Amino acid sequence: MSNLNALSAGEAEAELLTCCASRAFAREVAARRPYADLAELTAAADAAVRALGWPDVEEALAAHPRIGERVQGAGRESAWSRQEQSGVEDDLREALAEGNRAYEDRFGHVYLVCATGLSGQEMLARLKERLVHDPATEREVVRDELAKITKLRVARI
């Protein structure tokens, strides 16, 4: 945490973008430094995600891989995604791919779920449950999931 406080504004924003790929989020959280402790930082991150306009949420969503896809890349964000999705069993990848296509057709963006601690079956079940949401309800669920993921990632930096 002291490392984040000591960075320049640009460096802090770059670090925060690995937690949530919305430039508005990174600017907001970096601008509120210094943080006294992790609780203050995670509360600021949560508030910043919840205050994002929908285009900013979509910017963040664009950086997330589809659930069940094998995540490529060597960066921190890719490594975190691989770890977060470690509960996806190989035999579920096709069902998740089909579910992702249906979800994206319905809502126009990637299916986002805080995958940490969930099995592939649980992720697939949640995807199916969310397909019946109306768009406004689903946007709120997406925002909640993005906030959960972001708080977990912020705690790691």
Q: The tokens of 124 are what?
A: 């697939």
Number of domains in the chain: 1
26-83 confidence digits (pLDDT tens)? 999 999 999 999 999 999 999 999 999 999 999 999 988 887 665 555 565 555 554 5
Which residues form the domain of 49? Answer: 2-156
Q: Is the pLDDT of residue 24 over 90?
A: yes
68-99 confidence digits (pLDDT tens)? 665 555 565 555 554 555 556 677 778 888 99
Rounded Cα gap, residues 32 and 29, in angstroms: 5
What single-letter amino acid sits at 94? E
Helix 54-61, helix 23-31: angle, nearest 10: 110
Angstrom distances, CA of residue 74 to CA of 7, 57, 80, 83, 104: 23, 24, 10, 13, 26
Q: 49: domain CATH number?
A: 1.10.3330.10
Q: The tokens of 34 are what?
A: 């210094």
CA angle 144, 145, 146 (to 5 degrees): 90
* Amino acid 75: pLDDT: 62
Rounded Cα gap, residues 95 and 124, in angstroms: 8
The model's pTM is 0.86
